Amino acid sequence: MSMQGIAGFIRRWWLLLVIVPVITGALAYALGTTRTPMYASSTTLQVSIAASSDLNGYNANLLAQDLSTTYQTLVITDPVLQPVAAAANPPMATGELRANTTIAASSGALFTVTMTDPDPARAATLVNAVTAEFTAFVSGFVRPEAGVSEGPGTVTTFVEGTAPDEPYAPRLPAWVALGVIAGILVSSLGIMLFERLDTRVRTTSNVAEVAGASRLAQIPSLGKGISGPESVFLNRPGASQAGEAIRSLRTAVLGTYDEPGKVLVISSANRRDGKTIVAANLATALANSGKLVVLIDGNLRDPRLHSIFQINNVHGLGTLLSVPNLSWKTSAIRVAPNLAVIPAGSVREHPADLLVKPEFKDLLADVSATADVVIIDTPAMEVGNDALAVAMHAKSVVLLCRTGTTHSPALSAASASFHDVGADVLGVVVNEGGSRRGFGRLRGRSARKQAAGMDSLRADSSHVAKSA
């Protein structure tokens, strides 16, 4: 994963990456406080052999080191531990005492005996008792040789055991640290597994690969709550980033063709991806550039363009396709210089039946003969095949996807379906839906100003596509 990918991962999931380690660290601390504190007291023993006429000092030291290894195994034998266990207060089993005793080699002929116990004073008492018993046990190895009684080696206490001040377990800081680390690992692995199984589009980097088409524009969040006149934000103060993204989209669309009368379908894989807002603003941007634009609401199931531009929706595309020999200009309403809108009209029960009619192809031919650009807003692919029916006649499609909402398989299937009906997918517009920046904040006074502007336009609107 690249540094950019890691940064995006942290940005998307930072709250969970903080909460889970805090919780696991707190649980580790709580669990640690329930454990019985254990104290450890240690003594260090030294094994030595006196030099003689038969054994020089160097060899005596080597022999003492070898003997130290043997003695380490003898410390935890029953002859040494049984008397100590019986004399303990309270008495304890030899096996328990052996389990609490640890032997460790030190340097040379030194080795350490460590005793653990919940009582620090008792730990010191037990370890000193074990070393005293072991010293007595070793001193009993007497071998008379040449009339001299001597043991095989002398054991002396180098460091006596003392009562510790702090328990060695549980180590709460270590427990908390392990809990936090475990929380980070668990949350990270869980999130990575979720993202691997989650097919939603998370970043813009792989959109082109998924859709099989280029990325035309990347737009700051088109807020799902936007409706009405505030949806047309192109020339509104405070929408500079979104406005520039729409202008970039306009440039990309115009760069794909030069001939007039181009018909462009705006669609998406899923609902609420922002396609209607993009269609309205793209039409406005093209009209601002001097192009004669007709914007058609091809969503006969759930039309929205009439509410965005505040125009009458009694007659529209459904009427034109249902009534023979009716001019499209009777339903086109001028909403701005160089821009006319044909609303959807009344909602139809089976809109795809109307959209596949040859009359719709003829209608588009009549409109495109007058307009420079015709833009058709269609329902999302998950709703039905209306967009495919329109694309069969229009041939050019722009797909919308929303990061964090649109699923990659749905976007890929939508693009493939348009190709199957002979339509050319010009590219994909990415709506950064996961961000709270952008259009979701373009409300309030700016929206009221936009509404006032629409009232003024409606006063001058006429049922023609453009001025004479």
Could you state, in order of their start, the residue ranges of all structural domains in the chain?
3-35+171-189, 39-159, 207-460
Q: For the structural domain made of 39-159, what CATH number should be given?
A: 3.30.70.1130
Strand pairing report for 293-297 and 373-377: parallel
CA torsion sign for 173, 176, 179, 183 is: negative
Task: Say yes or no to pLDDT of 110 above 60.
Answer: yes
Secondary structure of residue 144 in the 3-state scheme: strand
Name residues whose C-beta falls within 8 Å of residue 454's C-beta, 6 or more positions apart in sequence. Answer: 229, 309, 310, 335
Residue 90 sits at φ, ψ, to 5 deg, of: -75, 165
Instruction: Report pLDDT for 225.
Output: 57
Secondary structure of residue 255 in the 3-state scheme: coil
Nearest partner of 127 among 96, 84, 67, 78, judged by Cα: 84
Distance of CA 313 to the CA centre of its chain: 43
Instruction: Report pLDDT for 226.
Output: 63
Please write the tens of the pLDDT for every residue from 309-359.
Answer: 999 998 999 999 988 889 999 999 999 999 999 999 987 778 888 899 899
Q: How many residues does the chain have?
A: 468
Task: Say yes or no to pLDDT of 445 above 50.
Answer: no
What gap in Å lies between CA 395 and CA 254, rounded to an integer?
15
Which helix (H) or strand (E) segment holds residue 410: the answer is helix 408-420
Confidence tier at 26 by pLDDT (50, 70, 90) = very high
Sheet holding 333-336, edge to edge: 215-219, 424-431, 396-402, 262-268, 373-377, 293-297, 339-342, 333-336
Task: Say yes or no to pLDDT of 439 above 70.
Answer: no
Please write the tens of the pLDDT for every residue from 235-292.
Answer: 776 667 888 999 999 999 988 876 777 899 999 999 888 899 999 999 999 999 999 9
What gap in Å lies between CA 363 and CA 328, rounded to an integer?
7
Beta bridge partners of 377: 266, 297
Confidence tier at 437 by pLDDT (50, 70, 90) = very low
The residue with tokens 């005996």 is: 113
Secondary structure of residue 41 in the 3-state scheme: strand
Instruction: Report pLDDT for 444.
Output: 36
Q: What is the per-residue DSSP string for 425-449? A: EEEEEEE-TT-SSSGGG--THHHHH
Assess contact for 219 and 278: CB atoms under 8 A.
yes
What gap in Å lies between CA 54 and CA 67, rounded to an integer?
18
Q: Give the chain's largest Cα–Cα span.
A: 139
Instruction: Report pLDDT for 222.
Output: 58
User: Do 39-159 and 207-460 have matching folds?
Assistant: no
For 71, 87, 129, 213, the CA distances from 134, given in Å and listed in that order, are: 9, 15, 8, 83
Please write the tens of the pLDDT for every residue from 220-242.
Answer: 865 555 667 788 888 776 667 88
Residue 373 or residue 13, greater confidence: 373
Instruction: Report pLDDT for 227.
Output: 66
What gap in Å lies between CA 400 and CA 268, rounded to an integer?
5
The residue with tokens 């980070």 is: 184
What gap in Å lies between CA 428 and CA 420, rounded to an integer?
17
Return the axis-axis angle of helices 172-197 and 3-34, rounded to nearest 10°: 140
Instruction: Report pLDDT for 266.
Output: 96
Distance of CA 133 to the CA centre of its chain: 63
Instruction: Report pLDDT for 313.
Output: 92
Across the chain, what does the average pLDDT equal? Answer: 84
Residue 303 sits at φ, ψ, to 5 deg, of: -70, 145
Assess contact for 282 and 250: CB atoms under 8 A.
yes
Q: What is the per-residue DSSP string for 214-235? A: -EEEEES---TT--GGGG--TT
Strand pairing report for 396-402 and 262-268: parallel
Neighbours of 4 (CB within 10 A): 10
Give me the amino acid identity at 421: V
Q: For the structural domain made of 207-460, what CATH number should be given?
A: 3.40.50.300
